[in-house]
Amino acid sequence: MDEKFDCIIVGAGIAGLAAAMTLARNNMKFLLIEKGEFAGSKNVSGGVLWGSDLAKLVPEYWKEEDGGWERFINHRRLTFMDEESTFSVDFKSSHFNETPYSGVVVLRSKFDRWLAGKVQEEIDNSDYAMESFIATNIKVDEVLMEDDKAVGIRTGDEEFHADSVIISEGVNNLLTRQVGLQDDYVPADHMLTGIKEVIRYDQNVLEDRFQLNGLSGMSNEFVGYATDGVEGGGFLYTNRDSISLGLVAGIKDMREKEKSPHDLLNTFKQHPVIQDTIRGGEVIEYSAHVVSSGDKRVMPKELYKDGVLLCGESANLLMNAGKAIQGMDFAMRSGILGAETIVKAKERGDFTSATLKEYKQALADSYVMKDINNFQDAVHMLHNPTMIQDVPNLICDFGRKFFTIDNEPTKKSRKLMQESIKKHSSYWDLMKIGFKGAKSL
Amino acid sequence: MKLLDLTERLGLVSYRNQAKSDIKPHITVDTDICNSTCPHKCTTYVCPANCYTMDENGDVHFQVEDCIECGTCMYACDQGAVDWNYPDPETGRGVTWNFG
């Protein structure tokens, strides 16, 4: 193929598909390249897609009988865990039953494939119905650079040329490194391994056990014993007839503490509360993938250079500030904003940094970078050992005493809390966390 | 619920080119580095698919067949022993998730 595209997108994950959708709607001629057999076949997430950007991308997506998503979230739970107990903050509200939903659980192999179908519909409706493509089974070996400007890609012996390239290859960002936007070696300090099982149930059992109604669903995050002292946390999300259960564990911390992620997952599953939760289920898939922590120190040096933009996890756009683990929504918004910048570049006939820097500004003006910037303290705090171990331990210790009735004179809660703090932490450590916490959230 | 060991877990994973014996490895490991200067040999426990194993002499060995392309070893190895890439769809062994 000699013809030149307006844009080549590398990677048909959420960022790449959102970019492709935006380009198709703006009548751009593009090529979306995916190394897997189909969009989503290489992708893993927990995971909940938060926010309402999906409704902008696929209006009234919830009306489809079998959309790519599993369940909408109307039940949130944050669980502190010690070896024997769990103490949860639990919020459920029919307020969240309204569309557009504020979060939907997805399984990427299904969701991305469905979204790719929607993108293909937009391509078919565009001026370039016959000249824009989603191409799968192709591994991009190199982004072609001429005078330090991206001009296309190479796969094997074949080259495809374009005025611009959007790199949305995910967190293992080899092309990002190749074009010089990130160092060749990224240390493990702010990277975690996500590890997950999809566990299937009889649908009635699932709906009864998690109090699900129709397509409503629950998200549950875990801190403390879940990761057995390793930086990170656990998660449980309800799918249609299964749950996604897993952990994220800091790679550097596992290295130093000599822990193995699949052992950690078994320890988590053996916790008495989790055992009760997963009883009767059947594991149907085991998966793992690296995620970034949301610490800005791991982000690429820059998000663009002449002819090329970084979207989604290839730019390490992901964050857990304690309220939710967000990444797929960041991917979607960054893909949209990246593609909008490419549309502008075509209008101006200028695909250099002079135009592409507007992507960085658009991202900075959006909730994505605003949240990443505003919640850095929370990200640091969540990865602090006091927060990972001492706080869950003392909360569970307090809970055990608070809820124990033994027909002896009962101590006031304040006294119980003092004892738990003394046993598991110190006022000084908690004050530090408290000050930081008040500031960071 | 019965816990699965890693072999059982990996048995649930769909791989491409499963029947091919001559797949091209997408990760190459300089085990000379692992076995001479590496102070931790952490890939032998942080890899979620146990692609890195240690024998009775404490030597590290690598096999790519079970790799699920998570990327952990690329970050975990701070000794420059791991050359990480994505598998070629035609000649590599890569993973295909059914759920993801």
Same-domain pairing of A179 and A325: yes
User: DSSP string covering A2-56, please?
Assistant: -PPBSEEEE--SHHHHHHHHHHHHTT--EEEE-SSSSTTTT-----EEESSHHHH
Same-domain pairing of A424 and A436: yes
CATH, domain range B23-87: 3.30.70.20
Same-domain pairing of A300 and A404: no
Q: Is residue A251 part of a domain?
A: yes
Which pLDDT tens digit goes with each residue over A299-336?
A: 999 999 999 999 999 999 999 888 889 999 999 999 99
Q: Is residue A395 part of a domain?
A: yes
Same-domain pairing of A24 and A118: yes
Nearest CA in chain B to A280: B1
Tokens 């040329």, located at residue: A161
Q: Is residue A98 part of a domain?
A: no
Same-domain pairing of A134 and A243: no
User: DSSP string covering A206-218, please?
Assistant: HHHHTT--TTEEE
Nearest CA in chain B to A195: B48
Contact between B58 and B20 (Cβ < 8 Å) = no
| Distant-in-sequence, close-in-space partners of B14: CB < 8 Å, separation ≥ 6 | B95, B96, B97, B98
Return the number of other C-beta atoms located less than 10 Å from residue A169's C-beta. Answer: 27
Please indicate whether, in this complex, the C-beta atoms of A283 and B80 are within 8 angstroms of each other. no
**Percentage with pLDDT > 70 across chain A:** 99
- A55 is in which domain, residue-wise? 5-68+107-187+295-373
Averaged pLDDT score across all residues of chain A: 95
Same-domain pairing of A367 and A236: no
Nearest CA in chain A to B83: A185
Burial (CB < 10 A; 0-12, 13-18, 19+), residue A17, is buried
Same-domain pairing of A159 and A248: no
Nearest CA in chain B to A201: B1
CA atoms within 13 A on the CB side of A343: 16
Task: Give the confidence band of A35 by pLDDT, cuts at 50, 70, 90.
Answer: very high
Contact between A47 and A219 (Cβ < 8 Å) = no
The amino acid that residue B90 corresponds to is: E
Using the predicted structure, report yes or no on whether residue A220 has a pLDDT greater than 80: yes
Please indicate whether, in this complex, the C-beta atoms of A254 and B46 are within 8 angstroms of each other. yes
Higher pLDDT, A67 or A2: A67
SS3 A66: coil
Same-domain pairing of A271 and A340: no
Looking at beta carbons, which residues of chain A come within 8 Å of B72?
193, 251, 261, 288, 290
Q: Is residue A168 part of a domain?
A: yes
Q: Which of A105-109, A414-418, B77-81 has the lowest mean pLDDT?
A: A414-418
Q: Which of A142-151, A280-289, A408-417 has the lowest mean pLDDT?
A: A408-417
- Alpha-carbon Rg of chain B, whole angstroms? 14
pTM beyond 0.90: the answer is yes
Calculate how close chain A gets to B52, using CA atoms only, in Å.
12
Q: Which of A233-242, A275-284, A405-414 has the lowest mean pLDDT?
A: A405-414
Same-domain pairing of A328 and A399: no
Which of A373, A396, A419 terminates a domain? The answer is A373
Please indicate whether, in this complex, the C-beta atoms of B1 and A289 are within 8 angstroms of each other. no
Looking at beta carbons, which residues of chain A come within 8 Å of B3?
266, 269-270
Q: What CATH number is associated with residue A319? A: 3.50.50.60
Same-domain pairing of A417 and A284: no
pLDDT of residue A60: 95
Q: Is residue A76 part of a domain?
A: no
pLDDT of residue A425: 84
pLDDT of residue A2: 55
Task: Tell me the average pLDDT across A263-284.
Answer: 97
Which of A292, A321, A338 terminates a domain? The answer is A292
**Domain spans of chain B?**
23-87
Per-residue pLDDT of chain B (100 residues; tens, 9 = 90+): 889 999 999 999 999 998 888 999 999 999 999 999 999 999 999 999 999 999 999 999 999 999 999 999 999 999 999 999 999 999 999 999 999 9
Task: Tell me the average pLDDT across A22-51.
Answer: 96
Among B16, B74, B87, beta carbon nearest to A172: B74
Please indicate whether, in this complex, the C-beta atoms of B71 and A281 are within 8 angstroms of each other. no
Q: Does A158 contact chain B (CB < 8 Å)?
A: no
Using the predicted structure, report yes or no on whether residue A145 has a pLDDT greater than 90: yes
Q: Is residue A232 part of a domain?
A: yes
Contact between B73 and B51 (Cβ < 8 Å) = yes
Which of A338, A373, A408 terminates a domain? The answer is A373
Q: Is residue A40 part of a domain?
A: yes
Q: Which of residues 29-88 of B touch A (CB under 8 A)?
A: 40, 42, 45-46, 48-50, 68-72, 74-76, 78, 80, 84-88
Using the predicted structure, report yes or no on whether residue A1 has a pLDDT greater than 60: no
Task: Tell me the average pLDDT across A148-176.
Answer: 98
Q: Is residue A241 part of a domain?
A: yes
pLDDT of residue A388: 86
Which pLDDT tens digit goes with each residue over A59-100?
A: 999 998 888 999 999 999 999 999 999 999 999 999 999 999
ipTM of the complex: 0.97
